Structure 1
Amino acid sequence: MSDTKTPPPLPPLPGQPIEGPGSPRDVPPLPGMSTLDPAEMPDAIRAELEAPDPAAIDTGAAELKSGLNRCPRCGSSDIRPRLGTDLLVCEYCRHEWHGERVEELFGFGDGIAGLRGTVMASGAQDIDADAATLMSFKCSGCGAEVTVNTESTMTARCHWCRHVFGVNEQVPNGAVPDAVLPFHIRKDDAVARIRQFVDKRKLLALKAFKDEFTPENVVGVYLPYMIVDGNASASVAGTGEIKTREYTRGTGNDKKTYYDADVYRIERHVDFTVDDLPLESSSERGNLDVNVNTNNIINTILPFDTKNAVRWNASYLNGFTSEKRNTNVEALRPRLEDQLLSIARAQVEGSTRRYTRGVRWEAEALDVHGTRWVSMYLPVWLYSYHQPGRNGGMLHYIAVNGRTGETMGSVPVQQWKLLLTALSVGTVVEAIAIAILVGMS
Structure 2
Amino acid sequence: MATITYKCPSCGSSLTFDGNAKEMACSSCGSQFEVEALKQAIEIEKESENFNEGTNWQAKDEGFSDEELNRTRTFNCSSCGAELITDETTVATECAFCGSPSIIPAQFTPGTRPDSVIPFKVSKDRAVELFKNYFKNKKLIPNLFKKNNQIDEIRKLYVPYWLFSCTADADITYSAKRVRSFRRGNYRITQTRHYRIRRAGTVDFKDLPVDASEKTDNKLTESLEPYNTKDALPYVPEVLSGAQASRADVAIEDSKKRADERIARSMQNELRSTVLGYESVVPISTKINVPDGTCYPALYPMWLITTKKADKTYTFAINGQTEQLTCDIPMSVPKAIGWFLGIFAGSSAIITFIMSLILQFR
Q: Is the TM-score greater than 0.5?
A: yes
Instruction: Quote the offset at 1:72 in angstroms.
Output: 11
The one-letter code of the counterpart of 2:141 is A
Which one has the bigger strand percentage? 2
Provide the C-alpha distance between the structure 2 equivalents of 1:370 and 1:238, rounded to a whole number of angstroms: 27
Kept in 2, the 8 Å contact 1:68–1:165? The answer is yes
Identity %: 18
1:182 aligns with 2:119: yes
1:247 aligns with 2:182: yes
1:319 aligns with 2:255: no
Instruction: Quote the offset at 1:274 in angstroms.
Output: 0.4
Q: For residue 430 of structure 1, what is the aligned residue in structure 2?
A: 348
Task: Find the residue that maps to 2:340 and give its secondary structure.
Answer: helix
Mapping of 1:381-400 within 5 angstroms? 381-385=303-307, 396-400=314-318
Kept in 2, the 8 Å contact 1:170–1:177? The answer is no
Instruction: Quote the offset at 1:363 in angstroms.
Output: 1.8
Distance 1:245 1:426, change over 3 A: closer
Mapping of 1:273-312 within 5 angstroms? 273-286=204-217, 288=219, 295=220, 298-312=221-235
1:345 aligns with 2:282: no
Q: Which runs of 5+ in 1 are unaligned?
A: 1-64, 100-128, 289-294
Kept in 2, the 8 Å contact 1:148–1:155? The answer is no
Deviations 1:141-167 (A, max 9, x none): 99x68545255661455989x986411
Deviation larger for 228-237 or 149-158: 149-158
1:238 aligns with 2:238: no
Mapping of 1:8-407 within 5 angstroms? 67-68=3-4, 78-82=14-18, 84-89=20-25, 94-97=31-34, 133-134=72-73, 136=75, 147=84, 149-150=86-87, 154-156=92-94, 165-169=102-106, 171-172=108-109, 177-201=114-138, 203-215=139-151, 217-241=153-177, 243=178, 245-247=180-182, 258-261=190-193, 263-286=194-217, 288=219, 295=220, 298-323=221-246, 325-349=248-272, 351-353=274-276, 356-385=278-307, 396-407=314-325
Distance 1:208 1:433, change over 3 A: same
Q: For residue 417 of structure 1, what is the aligned residue in structure 2?
A: 335
Provide the C-alpha distance between the structure 1 equivalents of 2:133 and 2:261, rounded to a whole number of angstroms: 35
Provide the C-alpha distance between the structure 1 equivalents of 2:202 and 2:258, rounded to a whole number of angstroms: 19
Instruction: Quote the offset at 1:385 in angstroms.
Output: 4.4
TM-score normalised by L of structure 2: 0.72
Provide the C-alpha distance between the structure 2 equivalents of 1:95 and 1:397, rounded to a whole number of angstroms: 33
| Aligned alpha-carbon RMSD (Å) | 4.2
Kept in 1, the 8 Å contact 2:112–2:297? The answer is no
Provide the C-alpha distance between the structure 2 equivalents of 1:130 and 1:275, rounded to a whole number of angstroms: 39
The one-letter code of the counterpart of 1:356 is Y
TM-score normalised by L of structure 1: 0.61
Distance 1:245 1:188, change over 3 A: same
Kept in 2, the 8 Å contact 1:70–1:79? The answer is yes
Instruction: Flag the structure with larger Rg.
Output: 1
Instruction: Quote the offset at 1:275 in angstroms.
Output: 0.3
Deviation larger for 357-366 or 310-319: 310-319
Provide the C-alpha distance between the structure 2 equivalents of 1:173 and 1:430, rounded to a whole number of angstroms: 65
Count residues in correspondence. Answer: 326
The one-letter code of the counterpart of 1:273 is D
